[in-house]
């Protein structure tokens, strides 16, 4: 399976699980989001329990079987560590079984792609009082994604607020810094992912990796665990 494969027009299954919303969509890669079948469910820590039934439900409603899927798209973050692992592991497994390629999409570009206004600032809650953030213009990203406290990374128009459209649960959580341009309630959309997949290269699933931007929230203290009593 060649790297950088073009999957435009192929039947695509997309999965997002980088935030508290798990989403699945089925449609033709590159087609408008309105032409896809999509479902989502809000969950806090039950990404693993919610995702598999949601995949089955979406396939059934689209009237297709897993064997008919010709490519996959997955939200690789940044976002919730556990959610990313669940989504990526699920898509990698499905892609391996089906022998199909995978398109990797960042949670921030997915958010930005759903917002018609430019420039747009995509902001995902990183917890620990921090956010993941990236700005997009008419031609795409305007710099790399960053992670930090809102008071450190939010752009300032001189009045304490960003002069752009702002989307994402990170901005919803910190309206004091993102309130003026805020478009509340936006989450990464699996339907938008299907559209984006038609314009991005696809890779073998084992080459697709998560984007964390920082260490996971939970660490194992190896030194303590292996200290003799």
155 and 79 co-located in one domain: no
> CB-based contacts of 142: which residues, under 8 Å, 6+ apart?
119, 135, 136
Question: Per-residue pLDDT averaged across 145-168, rounded?
Answer: 80
Flag whether pLDDT at 158 surpasses 70.
no
197 and 95 co-located in one domain: yes
**CA separation for the pair 46, 37 (Å, rounded):** 22
Give the per-residue pLDDT at 70: 98
Domain with 151 in it: 117-178
78 and 169 co-located in one domain: no
- The runs of H, that is alpha helices, within 63-179 are 81-98, 107-113, 150-153, 169-173, 175-178
88 and 197 co-located in one domain: yes
Percent of the chain predicted with pLDDT > 90? 79
16 and 76 co-located in one domain: yes
pLDDT tens sequence across 171-213: 999 999 998 789 999 999 999 999 999 999 999 999 999 999 8
Flag whether pLDDT at 229 surpasses 90.
no
Flag whether pLDDT at 128 surpasses 80.
yes
Tokens of 46: 């039950």
Q: What is the CATH number of the domain that holds 133?
A: 3.30.420.40
Give the per-residue pLDDT at 118: 85
193 and 160 co-located in one domain: no
Give the per-residue pLDDT at 45: 77
Instruction: Report whether 105 contacts 189 (CB < 8 A).
Output: no
Give the per-residue pLDDT at 3: 55
Choose one of 161, 178, 195: the last residue of a domain.
178
Question: Per-residue pLDDT averaged across 94-122, rounded?
Answer: 95
126 and 89 co-located in one domain: no
123 and 101 co-located in one domain: no
Flag whether pLDDT at 222 surpasses 80.
no
> CB-based contacts of 141: which residues, under 8 Å, 6+ apart?
109, 134, 135
Which uninterrupted H or E stretch holds 12? strand 11-16
Give the count of domains, the chain. Answer: 2
Alpha carbon separation from 181 to 17, 72, 122, 155, 223 (Å, rounded)? 25, 33, 11, 11, 47
Give the per-residue pLDDT at 162: 54
Instruction: Report whether 76 contacts 104 (CB < 8 A).
Output: yes
218 part of a folded domain: no
pTM of the model: 0.89
98 and 133 co-located in one domain: no
81 and 54 co-located in one domain: yes
pLDDT tens sequence across 16-53: 999 999 999 999 999 999 999 999 999 877 888 999 99
66 part of a folded domain: yes
127 and 77 co-located in one domain: no
């Amino acid at each position: 399976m060649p790297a950088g494969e073009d999957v435009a027009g192929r039947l695509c299954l997309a999965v997002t699980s980088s935030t508290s919303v798990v989403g699945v969509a089925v449609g033709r890669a590159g087609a408008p989001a309105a032409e896809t079948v999509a479902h989502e469910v809000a969950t806090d820590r039950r990404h693993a329990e919610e995702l598999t039934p949601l995949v089955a439900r979406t396939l059934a409603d689209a009237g297709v079987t897993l064997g008919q899927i010709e490519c996959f798209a997955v939200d690789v973050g940044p976002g919730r560590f556990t959610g990313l692992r669940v989504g990526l592991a699920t898509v990698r497994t499905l892609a391996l079984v089906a022998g199909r390629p995978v398109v990797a999409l960042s949670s921030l570009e997915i958010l930005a792609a759903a917002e018609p206004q430019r420039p747009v600032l995509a902001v995902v809650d990183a917890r620990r009082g921090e956010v993941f953030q990236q700005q997009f213009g008419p031609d795409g990203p305007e710099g790399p994604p960053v992670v930090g406290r809102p008071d450190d990374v939010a752009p300032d128009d001189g009045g304490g607020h960003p002069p752009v459209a702002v989307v994402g649960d990170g901005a919803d959580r910190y309206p004091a810094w993102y309130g003026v341009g805020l478009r509340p309630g936006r989450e990464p959309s699996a339907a938008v992912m299907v559209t984006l997949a038609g314009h991005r290269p696809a890779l073998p699933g084992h080459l697709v990796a998560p984007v964390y931007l920082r260490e996971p929230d939970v660490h194992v203290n190896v030194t303590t665990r292996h200290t003799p009593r």
